[in-house]
C-alpha cells in the first residue's frame, strides 16, 4: 500500500499532532485525502471539516485539492497563512 507523510501546522497541529503516515489509493487527490481523514471522525473530522478554511501544500509547494498524490509525497494541511 502506498503512503504519504501528512504534516499539520498551527491550530491543526495543536489538535492533530505534527505528522502522521497515511495510506493512499492510486490516483487519489489531495482533496480526497482530506475527505478520508475527515471520515475518521473525532479530532480529524473537527479540524479538517468542509467549510473550515484549510490550505494545503504538496511537497512543500502550495497546492489545491485537485492535485494528485504520489507515493512518498509530503502533504501538509494548515490554516490560512498569517506571516509578515
Partner 1 sequence: MPRVSIQTDDFDLSTEVAAVRAGDAGVGAIASFIGTVRDRSPGEPAISAMELEHYPGMTEAAIEAMIDEACRRFPLRGVRVIHRVGRLLPGDQIVLVVTSSSHRGAAFQGCEFLMDYLKTQAPFWKKETTPEGARWVDARVADDEALARWGLRSGNAA
Binding of residue 55 to partner 1 (CB under 8 A)? yes
**Could you tell me the maximum CA-CA distance found in the chain, to the nearest angstrom?**
40
Binding of residue 80 to partner 1 (CB under 8 A)? yes
Q: CA 51 → CA 2, 7, 25, 84, distances in Å?
A: 28, 20, 24, 26
Binding of residue 43 to partner 1 (CB under 8 A)? no
Closest CB 44 distance from partner 1, rounded Å: 18
Which residues contact partner 1 by CB under 8 A?
Answer: 7, 9-11, 13, 53, 55, 57, 60-62, 76, 78-84
Amino acid at each position: 500500500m502506498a503512503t504519504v507523510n501528512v504534516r499539520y501546522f498551527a491550530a491543526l497541529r495543536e489538535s492533530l499532532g505534527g505528522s502522521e503516515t497515511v495510506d493512499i489509493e492510486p490516483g487519489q487527490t489531495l482533496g480526497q485525502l482530506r475527505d478520508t481523514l475527515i471520515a475518521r471522525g473525532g479530532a480529524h473530522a473537527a479540524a479538517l471539516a468542509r467549510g473550515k478554511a484549510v490550505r494545503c501544500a504538496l511537497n512543500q509547494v502550495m497546492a489545491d485539492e485537485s492535485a494528485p498524490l504520489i507515493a512518498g509525497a509530503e502533504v501538509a494541511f494548515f490554516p490560512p497563512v498569517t506571516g509578515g
